[in-house]
Structure 1
C-alpha cells in the first residue's frame, strides 16, 4: 500500500511542465558536453561575432513582417468557423500565445489564446481550441511541402551537394517530409470526405486507455474539416501558411549568409543555400514538435546543424552558430512582440492556470464543429 501511494504521489509531481524543464536541462547538458568535447568553441563564438550585422538586420525585419501574416491566416481560420475578427487583434493574440509557449512549459500558450478570444471577443473555448488544431495542421502541411520542394530541387539540379559525411541527414529529411506530406494530405482528404468515423471510434474505445487520445484525434479531425470543406478558405489558409514559412526560411538564409560573408562568399551556391536552409528549417521545426525541451531549444539547433553539415561543405562550427543565431533571433522577436501584445491587450503573457480554460479549453460542447 505504501509503495502504491508513493507511486501515485510521484506521478502527481511529475507534471508535463516539470518533465519539459527536466528535458530542457538534459538536452542543453548533452549539447554543451558534445560541443566542449568535440568542437572548437572559440570558432563558434568567432563565427557568430563576425556575422554581417546588415544581413542580420534584414533577417530581423523579415521575420517581424511574418507576424501580421500569421494574424491574417488565423483570421481566415476563425472566419471559416463563424468567428471573423480583425487581423490586428489576432496578430497580438498569436504573439501572446507564442510568447507563453516560450516562457511557460507544456504549451500554455494554447490556453492563453483561447482565453483571449473568449475574454476579448466572446469566442467560445471550443472554437478557440479547434482553430489552434487547424493552424497546426496547416503549419505541418506547409513545412512538409517546402521541405519536399527543396528535396526535389536538390535532386533535379546538377549543383554539387557535399556528401562526405554520407547522405544520412538528407535521407532523414526526405523521410520526414514524405511522411508529413502523406499524413497531412490524408488528414485533409479524409476531412473533406463524407465519411463519419467519430461516433464508431468513440463507442469502440469507451472505457479504455485509448478513449482520451481517440477523442482528441476526433476533435482534431473535426476542426480540420471545418476549413477543408470550404475550397476557398482551404486555399487561402494554405497560401498564407506557405508565405509564413517561406519568410521563416528566408530569415534562416539571411542569417547563414551573414556568417558566410554574404551571398557571394563562394562556399555554397545561392540555389543550394536556399534549398538546404529550407530543409534545415523544416527539419528543425519538425524536431520541435517533440515535447523534449522548452521551445524546442537544442532540438531545433541539432536538426538545423545536421542538415547543413550533412549536405554542404560549411564547417560545423559555422552551422551551429547559424542555428543558434537563427533560433535566438526568432525567439527574441517573439518575446518582444509578446510583451507589446500583452501591453496592448492589458493582460499578462503568462496567465495563471486558473485564468485559462481547463484542458486547454476542451469541453463537451460539440456545437462548434461537425463530428469527424
Structure 2
C-alpha cells in the first residue's frame, strides 16, 4: 500500500514543486501577459490538438492492421486516449499496460502483440521527434552550450533507431529453446511484421511526422495567442526537447519538467521568462485537458469494465503484485 502511495505521491510533489518555483519567479510577468491574449488562437490550438489525436488513432489502427487485427479507428483512438490519460495520473508510463488489457478483452490479442504494437508506436514517435529536432538545429544560430547534450541524445536516438530496424531484418533467422528468449523473439517478429514492410515504413513514418508537426503547431498557436513571434525552428526544438524529457518518468505526464525545458528553450530567442513559462504551461495544459477529456469519453465508449481493468493493470505494478478485490 505504501509503495503504491509513494509511487504516485513523490513524482506528483516533484511536479508541483517545479511549477510552484517557476510561478514564484515570474508571477508579475504572467499577469501582464494574460491581459494581452488573442483568444482565437486558443480555439485553433484545441482544434489542431484534436486533429493530432484522430491521426494517432488512425496510426494505431494501421499498426494493429500489420498484426492482422482489423480494429476501427475510433476504437484504436479510444485505446490510446485511455492509456495516455492514465499516464497523466501515474508515473513511468504505466498507463500503456492498460492498452494491452483493453485489446485482449475486446479482440483477444496476446500480451506480446499488445506490447509489440506499443513498441512500434514508440519507435516511430522517437525517430520522428529526433529527425525534427535535428533538422531544426540547422535553422537556429548561436545555440547555447547547454543544448549540446540534447544534440548528442538526438543523434544517438537516430543511430539506435536505424540500427534497430536493421536488426529486425535479421531477427527472423534467430531461434532459441529457452522460453523467455522465444517470447522476446516472438515480439520482435511481431514488431517486424507491423513496421518493416515498405508500405508500413512510409505510412507510419509520414503519419508520425505529421502528428508531431501538429503537436508543434499547437504550441505555435499558443505563442501567437500571446503575440509572440518565436522562430518556428525554436518551437520545434522546444517541443522535441520537452518530449525527450517527458520520456524520462520523473513526474506523471512529464508535468513540470516539460514546462521547465520548453520555457528555457524559448528563452534563447529573448522571450521573457514569464511569457515563455506561460506559453509552455498553456501548451501542456491544452494537450493534457484534451487527453483527459478524450480519456473520459473513451471509457464510456469502451464500457464500464475499463475501470476495474485499469485497477487490475496498475495494481501489480504499484503494489507488489496483489490484485485488488473488484
Q: What TM-score do the two structures reach when normalised by structure 1?
A: 0.76
**TM-superposed deviation, 1:169:** 4.3
Distance 1:216 1:101 in 2: 26
Number of residue pairs the alignment of both structures matches: 317
Task: Select the residue among 250, 253, 272 that pairs with 1:292.
Answer: 250
Distance 2:244 2:206 in 1: 20
**TM-superposed deviation, 1:30:** 4.1
Task: Select the residue among 337, 344, 347 that pairs with 2:294.
Answer: 337
Conserved 8 A contact 1:277-1:308: yes
Question: How well do the aligned residues superpose, as a CA RMSD in angstroms?
Answer: 2.9
Counterpart for residue 214 of structure 2: 247
Conserved 8 A contact 2:128-2:208: yes
Q: Specify the SS of the correspondent of 1:114.
A: helix
Task: Give the 3 Å change call, closer, same or farther, for CA 115–152 of structure 1 in structure 2.
Answer: same
1:51-130 equivalence runs, <5 A: 51-130=37-116
Q: Specify the SS of the correspondent of 1:14.
A: helix
Task: Select the residue among 271, 291, 307 that pairs with 2:265.
Answer: 307
Distance 1:357 1:321 in 2: 33
Distance 1:52 1:127 in 2: 46
Task: Select the residue among 311, 315, 320 that pairs with 2:277.
Answer: 320
1:129-140 equivalence runs, <5 A: 129-140=115-126
Task: Give the 3 Å change call, closer, same or farther, for CA 215–302 of structure 1 in structure 2.
Answer: farther
**TM-superposed deviation, 1:49:** 4.7
Q: Specify the SS of the correspondent of 2:271.
A: coil
Distance 1:30 1:98 in 2: 22
Q: Specify the SS of the correspondent of 2:313.
A: coil
Task: Select the residue among 224, 228, 232 that pairs with 1:257.
Answer: 224
Conserved 8 A contact 2:263-2:273: yes
Counterpart for residue 190 of structure 1: 167
Q: Structure 1 regions of 5+ residues with no counterpart? A: 1-11, 155-160, 207-213, 262-266, 361-372
Distance 1:354 1:323 in 2: 32
Distance 1:14 1:313 in 2: 44
**TM-superposed deviation, 1:96:** 1.4
Q: Which has the larger share of helix? A: 2
Write the deviation string for residues 9-33 of structure 1: whole angstroms up to 9, x where unpaired: xxx8435x73343023124324423
Q: Specify the SS of the correspondent of 1:356.
A: helix
Q: Which has the larger radius of gyration?
A: 1
Conserved 8 A contact 1:134-1:220: no
Distance 1:117 1:239 in 2: 25
**TM-superposed deviation, 1:222:** 4.6
Q: What TM-score do the two structures reach when normalised by structure 2?
A: 0.86
1:198-237 equivalence runs, <5 A: 199=176, 221-237=188-204
**TM-superposed deviation, 1:304:** 0.6
Write the deviation string for residues 294-313 of structure 1: whole angstroms up to 9, x where unpaired: 11011111111121112x01
- Compare 232-241 and 116-125 and name the one that shifted more: 116-125
Distance 2:99 2:92 in 1: 14
Counterpart for residue 282 of structure 1: 240
